[in-house]
Amino acid sequence: MSRSRISPPLVLVNFKCYLEATGSKAVQLAKYAQQVADKTGVTLAVAPQTADLRLVSQQASVPVFAQHIDPITPGSYTGHVLAESVLEAGASGILVNHSECRLGISVIEDTITRAKDLKLETVVCANTSGIAAAVASLGPDMIAVEPPELIGSGVAVSKAKPEVITDTVSRIRRINSDVLILCGAGITSGEDVREALRLGTQGVLVASGIVKAKNQLAAIEDLAGACRPIGKQTNLT
Amino acid sequence: MSRSRISPPLVLVNFKCYLEATGSKAVQLAKYAQQVADKTGVTLAVAPQTADLRLVSQQASVPVFAQHIDPITPGSYTGHVLAESVLEAGASGILVNHSECRLGISVIEDTITRAKDLKLETVVCANTSGIAAAVASLGPDMIAVEPPELIGSGVAVSKAKPEVITDTVSRIRRINSDVLILCGAGITSGEDVREALRLGTQGVLVASGIVKAKNQLAAIEDLAGACRPIGKQTNLT
Amino acid sequence: MSRSRISPPLVLVNFKCYLEATGSKAVQLAKYAQQVADKTGVTLAVAPQTADLRLVSQQASVPVFAQHIDPITPGSYTGHVLAESVLEAGASGILVNHSECRLGISVIEDTITRAKDLKLETVVCANTSGIAAAVASLGPDMIAVEPPELIGSGVAVSKAKPEVITDTVSRIRRINSDVLILCGAGITSGEDVREALRLGTQGVLVASGIVKAKNQLAAIEDLAGACRPIGKQTNLT
Amino acid sequence: MSRSRISPPLVLVNFKCYLEATGSKAVQLAKYAQQVADKTGVTLAVAPQTADLRLVSQQASVPVFAQHIDPITPGSYTGHVLAESVLEAGASGILVNHSECRLGISVIEDTITRAKDLKLETVVCANTSGIAAAVASLGPDMIAVEPPELIGSGVAVSKAKPEVITDTVSRIRRINSDVLILCGAGITSGEDVREALRLGTQGVLVASGIVKAKNQLAAIEDLAGACRPIGKQTNLT
């Protein structure tokens, strides 16, 4: 099993195809992330659209993840996303199998293989505990779990039954002890982040909670603040 | 029917996912295209990978086409290609339904609609005369025809039976008199370009013939040179 | 252009994956259709699920359409639907590109080609006037138009603006004078059928209006009754 | 974890879309399987095309598997395969994720769930040891492993390195002790079956080795003969 080069806890911000995080606004949001990372020491990473990868990588000093690649090698693949192209554009990792971009199980395995070849970190999304356990066998660097009870339901992790997260974490751990586990749903506040970490995850994957926030910077500060080690937090309080 | 803003004849170079046209090499190739366009007055355009759109647009003064977009509006579409993102990255057009990226007929129509909303030019690929005629009803700016007799067969347009092209052109023209028609297969030399134009097309879509050439600049010069009006060509010889 | 062997007007009943039209219930519904066809002389056809094609064909004397085939030739295609298998099971035609089973434009063309080879009638669905015109170039036997204004909106053809249908019919007719045109949305009563025929279509494609009716037989009688020539109808009134 | 109702060892014959196993020929082949099952006591099962499920189920007394279902519930799903329809047609199980019909990981999980609801047995195909281990977490009744070294290479299990099979078996067993494991590639003779069973599998999934055999009955006898307990085999020799 590989070990991620990311130092947890991690807050990974998925820009999706939101206009509030496209082009120059993608750069602005990534700069906010860098600013908070610099101030708090928490690892913050961003996942902008493919067309924005290079611009964001050049203008902000945070790890940049592509939202998707195709498991192809260089060649005749018009319209596809080549791992080498996102790497040269500055990406250090990729999202795989996001619920909005579901992949075949063979495609997931092949994508992880391609990413490893180029030393791109992989975050594979899994929307049930069964799929999370399945994905754990494929050796990704990170798994983002999206319990169905938390997706689109408006239920925050901090309000949900703990088992929603802990069951998935324990199923993954039985198979893979190294993979970082992110909580990929139900995160809207620092309180949610704290609860996610308390339940055994090493970070969060968040999108609208930050991108769609009226004050993006404040939203990042809130989430990142909750990631700091208890000792430091106590000092700050 | 819309009218393309492109002045034909057009040489459109598809970079596919070739390493010889990725990242800094995409920029180099686009600069070659610009150099030849400036010298000859022929319209040259390039279609780099999504991750390279902005870099190429910023560093070379030629029309830039995205290889694919998804017919989505801004929102929760992780891993998709948003029209607004390629537009802000500098693209002025898009390829649609390339043989390596086949789309549903409804997706083609929706993609054309999205592109028109943002004033992106559309080049829809069609691999048979029937599909070319079908696509002509959807109102794209350009159609790139790829006669099966010419794809992957190594047969050049200039060596093929003229009907391979003229039949498709006439089927398109019965339905759509405005659309620009590109020859999208069988182009490896200036002679092929001349023949394609003589048979009723307004340009060519070419990939490996230029990208994989030992001397990319010379290959572009050869193809673009064949696009100049007969008068001018005579003068130059 | 081919000519359909179906005598219009046609009422084609799509069984979808409704339990009310699965297995033995598919047979019952097809027998109702046969009963009404025998009594009225109107052409009635049914499109049951693949697993029910043979049973329905054996037990009811109406034309049977498959809901989908894959454009494959016999061979290693586990899980696909081979044209030969539905033909041997008794199908005389196929639906193509239904809105619940959208296909690539090349797949549509290849499917039509395979169907013609085996003399299976093709009904290609089209959800906009542009797509209907496009599909007309591919030479199917029938086109089922599903104007977006009528799909899922609960608006019946008989209540809609006539242009919703007539515009599509005239776009198709400019390209293809032989193809039968079915109205594929907004049909819930005999009145709708009469209006659809009056506006230039040669029949209807209907699903829930019949399958989900409390009295399936009465629903078929209502729709078929509206298909009889004016003269006969006058006699009956 | 569920327990399969199938008594191993199992020879499961995939009819694919071969003409030699379509319609009346599917029935003939299934009757051969029944004949050998009756004579040898070995469990033989068949996977005909969807359109042939009912005919085969009615005319031959062997377990019948569908080659694919969609994870849908009854409703508006034109062209899809409903679990209820294959069950009513006589199927007692399904193939899932065959290499010719690859599915998303979520689709695999949802398909297994639907199958369990209807008590259909599931055979999930896996083409690498990683995917086999992943699939083991999803709780299918059987996993058919198709080591890439054996697919399409013409290499028989009995000639390959034992680790090709034993590694996959042991990866599956670490996660799931109940699932039946079938060898899904490299089976062309009784010798291959014997080797597959010796290496820890409980049966085989075979297609062309039987369907394309000049003498289908003899081919089934050869494979089934190799499944008999050593004691019995000795007696027979």
| pLDDT (tens digit per residue) in A160-173 | 888 889 999 999 99
Residue B179 scores a pLDDT above 70: yes
Q: What is the pLDDT of residue D164?
A: 85
Cβ contact D51–C22 (<8 Å) = no
Q: How far apart are CA D125 and CA D183, in angstroms?
A: 10
**DSSP per position, chain A:** ----SS-SSEEEEE-TB-GGGSTHHHHHHHHHHHHHHHHH--EEEEE--GGGHHHHHHH--S-BEES---S--SBS-TT---HHHHHHTT--EEEES-TTS--BHHHHHHHHHHHHHTT-EEEEEESSHHHHHHHHTT--SEEEE--TTTTTS---GGGS-THHHHHHHHHHHHH-SS-EEEE-SS--SHHHHHHHHHTT-SEEEESHHHHT-SSHHHHHHHHHHTTS-HHHHHHH-
Q: Residue B121 contacts by C-beta under 8 Å, 6 or more apart in sequence? A: B4, B5, B6, B63, B65, B92, B93, B94, B115, B141, B142
Q: Residue C233 contacts by C-beta under 8 Å, 6 or more apart in sequence? A: C225
D84 in catalytic set: no
Per-residue pLDDT band for D152 (boundaries 50, 70, 90) equals low
Q: What is the pLDDT of residue D236?
A: 36
Chains near A with 3+ CB pairs less than 8 A apart are B, D
Q: Looking at beta carbons, which residues of chain A come within 8 Å of B75?
A: 16-18
Average confidence (pLDDT) over B38-43: 96
Q: Looking at beta carbons, which residues of chain B come within 8 Å of A19?
A: 74, 84
Average confidence (pLDDT) over C14-25: 98
D100 in catalytic set: no
Average confidence (pLDDT) over B157-176: 91
For chain D, say whether A115 makes contact (Cβ under 8 Å).
no
Cβ contact C137–B130 (<8 Å) = yes
* Phi/psi of residue B44, nearest 5 degrees: -120, 135
Q: How far apart are CA B7 and CA B30, in angstroms?
A: 18
Sheet (strand D203-206) strand order: D43-47, D10-14, D203-206, D180-183, D142-145, D121-126, D93-96, D65-66
For chain B, say whether C1 makes contact (Cβ under 8 Å).
no
Q: What is the pLDDT of residue B2?
A: 53
Q: What is the pLDDT of residue D19?
A: 98
Q: What is the pLDDT of residue A160?
A: 84
Could you identify the residue written with the tokens 């219930």? C25
Cβ contact A137–D136 (<8 Å) = yes
Q: How far apart are CA B23 and CA B158, in angstroms?
A: 33
Burial D147-176 (b: 16+ CB within 10 A, else e): beebeeeebbbbebeeebbebbbebbeebb
Are D and B neighbours with ≥3 CB pairs closer than 8 A?
A: no
Per-residue pLDDT band for A57 (boundaries 50, 70, 90) equals very high
Average confidence (pLDDT) over A80-100: 97
Cβ within 8 Å of C, B 121-160: 127-128, 130-131, 133-139
Token digits of residue A55: 């611009």
Q: Looking at beta carbons, which residues of chain B come within 8 Å of A184?
A: none
Mean pLDDT for chain B overall: 92
- With residues binned 3-state (H G I as helix, E B as strand, rest as coil), the percentages for chain D, rounded to 5, are 45, 15, 40
Q: Residue B181 contacts by C-beta under 8 Å, 6 or more apart in sequence? A: B142, B143, B145, B168, B169, B172, B200, B201, B202, B203
Q: In which element (H, E) is residue D148 found? A: none
Amino acid at A54: R
Q: What is the pLDDT of residue A159?
A: 84
Nearest chain C residue to D80, by CA: C17
Q: Looking at beta carbons, which residues of chain B come within 8 Å of A207?
A: 76, 78
**Residues of chain B above pLDDT 90, percent:** 83
Q: What is the pLDDT of residue D233?
A: 44
Q: What is the pLDDT of residue D235?
A: 39
Are D172 and D181 in contact by the 8 Å Cβ rule? The answer is yes
Residue A8 scores a pLDDT above 70: yes
Residue D4 scores a pLDDT above 50: yes
Cβ contact A17–B50 (<8 Å) = no
Cβ contact A105–D134 (<8 Å) = yes
Are A and D neighbours with ≥3 CB pairs closer than 8 A?
A: yes
Residue C201 scores a pLDDT above 50: yes
Give tens-digit pLDDT for A9-35.
999 999 999 999 999 999 999 999 999
For chain D, say whether C82 makes contact (Cβ under 8 Å).
yes
Per-residue pLDDT band for A3 (boundaries 50, 70, 90) equals low
Which of C78, C85, C207 has the CB atom closest to D51's CB atom? C85
Q: Coil, strand, or helix at residue B190?
A: helix
Residue D202 scores a pLDDT above 50: yes
Average confidence (pLDDT) over A50-73: 98
Average confidence (pLDDT) over C208-224: 96
Nearest to A141 by CA among A228, A65, A62, A37: A65
Give the number of other CB atoms < 10 A from CB of residue D31. 17
Mean pLDDT for chain D overall: 92
Per-residue pLDDT band for B229 (boundaries 50, 70, 90) equals low
**Catalytic residue of the set D68, D109, D121, D146:** D146
Q: How far apart are CA B78 and CA A97, in angstroms?
A: 10
Could you identify the residue written with the tokens 């943002």? B118
Give tens-digit pLDDT for A175-192.
999 999 999 988 999 999
Average confidence (pLDDT) over A143-154: 82
Q: What is the pLDDT of residue D50?
A: 98
Average confidence (pLDDT) over C88-100: 96
pTM of the model: 0.93
Q: Coil, strand, or helix at residue D143?
A: strand
Q: Looking at beta carbons, which residues of chain C come within 8 Å of B103?
A: 104-105
Nearest chain C residue to B174, by CA: C175
Are A18 and B17 in contact by the 8 Å Cβ rule? The answer is no
A182 Cα distance to chain centroid = 7
**Partners of D81 in beta bridges:** none
Nearest chain C residue to B113, by CA: C130
Per-residue pLDDT band for A153 (boundaries 50, 70, 90) equals low
Q: What is the pLDDT of residue D159?
A: 84
Q: What is the pLDDT of residue C2?
A: 54
Sheet (strand B43-47) strand order: B43-47, B10-14, B203-206, B180-183, B142-145, B121-126, B93-96, B65-66
Q: How far apart are CA C57 and CA C62, in angstroms?
A: 7
Residue A86 scores a pLDDT above 70: yes
User: What is the nearest CA distance from C98 to chain B, expressed in angstroms?
Assistant: 11
Q: What is the pLDDT of residue A229?
A: 62
Q: Looking at beta carbons, which residues of chain B come within 8 Å of A76?
A: 16-18, 100, 207-208
User: What is the nearest CA distance from D222 to chain A, expressed in angstroms?
Assistant: 33
Nearest to D168 by CA among D195, D203, D201: D201
Q: How far apart are CA A105 and CA B12, in angstroms?
A: 36
**Residues of chain A above pLDDT 90, percent:** 83
Nearest to A63 by CA among A24, A8, A17: A8
Q: How far apart are CA B29 and CA B48, in angstroms?
A: 10
Question: For testing the chain D interface, which of C14, C20, C46, C85 should be mutated: the one with the most D CBs within 10 Å?
Answer: C85
Burial A136-145 (b: 16+ CB within 10 A, else e): bbbbbbbbbb
For chain B, say whether A212 makes contact (Cβ under 8 Å).
no
Residue B231 scores a pLDDT above 60: no
Residue C1 scores a pLDDT above 50: no
Chains near B with 3+ CB pairs less than 8 A apart are A, C
Which of D109, D130, D136 has the CB atom closest to A131's CB atom? D109
Residue B235 scores a pLDDT above 50: no
Cβ contact D135–A175 (<8 Å) = no
Q: Euclidean distance between the first and final Cα of chain D, in Å?
A: 39
Nearest to C23 by CA among D77, D89, D67: D89
Provide the pairing of β-strand A121-126 with A93-96: parallel
Token digits of residue B105: 């007929």
Q: What is the pLDDT of residue D237?
A: 33
Q: Which stretches does DSSP call E strand in chain B?
A: 10-14, 43-47, 65-66, 93-96, 121-126, 142-145, 180-183, 203-206
The lowest-confidence range among A183-187, B43-47, C170-174, C213-217 is A183-187
- What is the DSSP secondary structure assignment for residue B104, as one 8-state letter? B
For chain A, say whether D108 makes contact (Cβ under 8 Å).
yes
**Catalytic residue of the set C68, C109, C121, C146:** C146
**Catalytic residue of the set A109, A121, A146, A195:** A146
Q: How far apart are CA C66 and CA C16, in angstroms?
A: 10
**Residues of chain C above pLDDT 70, percent:** 94
Burial of C211: CB neighbours in 10 Å, binned 0-12, 13-18, 19+: buried
Cβ contact B52–A50 (<8 Å) = no
Cβ within 8 Å of B, A 8-47: 14, 16-19, 22-24, 47
Choose the most confident range, by mean pLDDT, from A53-57, A98-102, C224-228, D153-157.
Answer: A53-57
Q: In which element (H, E) is residue C130 found? A: helix C129-136
- Taking one residue from B and the other from C, the number of pairs with CB-CB distance under 8 angstroms is 69
What SS3 string covers C19-68? HHHCCHHHHHHHHHHHHHHHHHCCEEEEECCHHHHHHHHHHCCCCEEECC
Nearest to C43 by CA among C207, C192, C169, C220: C220
For chain D, say whether C114 makes contact (Cβ under 8 Å).
no
Per-residue pLDDT band for B164 (boundaries 50, 70, 90) equals confident
Give tens-digit pLDDT for D43-58.
999 999 999 999 999 9
Average confidence (pLDDT) over C207-212: 94
Average confidence (pLDDT) over B91-100: 96
Are B83 and B112 in contact by the 8 Å Cβ rule? The answer is no
ipTM: 0.94
Burial C8-17 (b: 16+ CB within 10 A, else e): bbbbbbbbbb
Could you identify the residue written with the tokens 């289908």? D216
Residue A152 scores a pLDDT above 80: no
**Catalytic residue of the set D98, D121, D195, D221:** D98
- What is the DSSP secondary structure assignment for residue B102, as one 8-state letter? -
Are D16 and C78 in contact by the 8 Å Cβ rule? The answer is yes
Are C and A neighbours with ≥3 CB pairs closer than 8 A?
A: no
C-alpha to C-alpha distances, D124 to B199, D100, D164, D211, nearest whole angstrom: 53, 12, 18, 21
